[in-house]
């Protein structure tokens, strides 16, 4: 069974640009969550999608958005990039019920210069 | 929303010594609790989870954690650590709506 796949693994962008990250969940998983990981901040929750609907949302500005497709694949978009957006972005998938284990991808390392 | 506090950002320990990584949570509803481990340049991997029942939970690699509802804690322990346990450890809390929140992480460094 394939794991959670995130693409690309590494990305370098310039301030002001926008970026789209992709996440393919484990087959059968309907929930996809996104997290931003930076040194000292741990994993900060961005949002969760379940059956193409945003179900939970963290405390990030509107520049951060996402969507989920009918095959459960998800994308997140960051517009007007800032230097502070440099981080490891992690995607996790699970079946969607409370208490279910989240399976993580290896992340996309975004560097904004 | 629920939240998690990991009380130690770094824990250095000698090989074969016991270790405890502390985690406290806050939530207004019943919660599910998790510990994940992250090795360098990798994603997170589940160590153990508490859903209900026995408050002592055993996980992989010899780790265990105890759920204490009155103290809202879920501390992770291992009686004897190995060099290979050097990693970042994250405590997480989830509600019934699949909203999972993580702590800031504890970097465990095992020294020979």
Question: Between B43, B94, B103, which is nearest A105 by CB?
Answer: B43
Residue A101, pLDDT score: 86
From chain B, the residues in CB contact with A106 under 8 A are 41-43
Task: Compute the distance between CA of residue A23 and CA of residue B8 in angstroms, rounded to an integer.
Answer: 31
* pLDDT beyond 70 at A89: yes
From chain A, the residues in CB contact with B99 under 8 A are 45, 48, 55-56
* Residue pLDDT, tens place only, B3-21: 899 999 999 999 999 999 9
Please report the DSSP string for chain A in residue order: ----EEE-SEEEE-TT--EEEEEEPPTT--EEEEEEEETTTEEEEEEEEETTEEEEE-S--TTEEEEE-TTS-EEEEE-S--GGG-EEEEEEEE-SSTTPPPEE---EEEEE-
* Residue pLDDT, tens place only, B29-85: 778 999 999 998 788 999 999 988 888 999 999 999 999 999 999 999 999 999 999
Residue A1, pLDDT score: 65
Contact B105 A97 (CB under 8 A): no
Q: Is the CB of B32 inside 8 Å of chain A's CB atoms?
A: yes
* pLDDT beyond 70 at A44: yes
Contact A43 B105 (CB under 8 A): yes
The pair of structure tokens assigned to A12 is: 């370098």
Pick the more confident residue, A46 or A97: A46
């Amino acid at each position: 069974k394939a794991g959670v796949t995130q693409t690309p693994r590494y990305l370098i962008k310039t301030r002001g640009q926008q970026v789209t990250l992709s996440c393919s969940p484990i087959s059968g998983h309907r929930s996809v969550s996104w997290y931003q990981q930076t040194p000292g901040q741990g994993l900060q929750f961005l949002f969760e999608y379940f059956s193409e609907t945003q179900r939970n949302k963290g405390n990030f500005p509107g520049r951060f958005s996402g969507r989920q497709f009918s095959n459960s694949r998800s994308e997140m978009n960051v517009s007007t990039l800032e230097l502070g957006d440099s981080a490891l972005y992690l995607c996790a998938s699970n079946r969607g019920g409370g208490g279910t284990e989240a399976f993580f991808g290896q992340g996309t390392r975004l560097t904004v210069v | 929303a629920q939240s998690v506090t990991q009380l130690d950002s770094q824990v250095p320990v000698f090989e074969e010594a016991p270790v405890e990584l502390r985690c406290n949570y806050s939530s207004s509803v019943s919660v599910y609790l998790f510990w994940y481990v992250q090795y360098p340049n990798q994603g997170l991997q589940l160590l153990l989870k508490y859903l209900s029942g026995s408050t002592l939970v055993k996980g992989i690699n010899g780790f265990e954690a105890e759920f204490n509802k009155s103290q809202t804690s879920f501390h992770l322990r291992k009686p004897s650590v190995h060099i290979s346990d050097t990693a970042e450890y994250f405590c997480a809390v989830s509600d019934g709506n699949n909203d999972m929140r993580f702590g800031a992480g504890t970097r465990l460094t095992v020294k020979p």
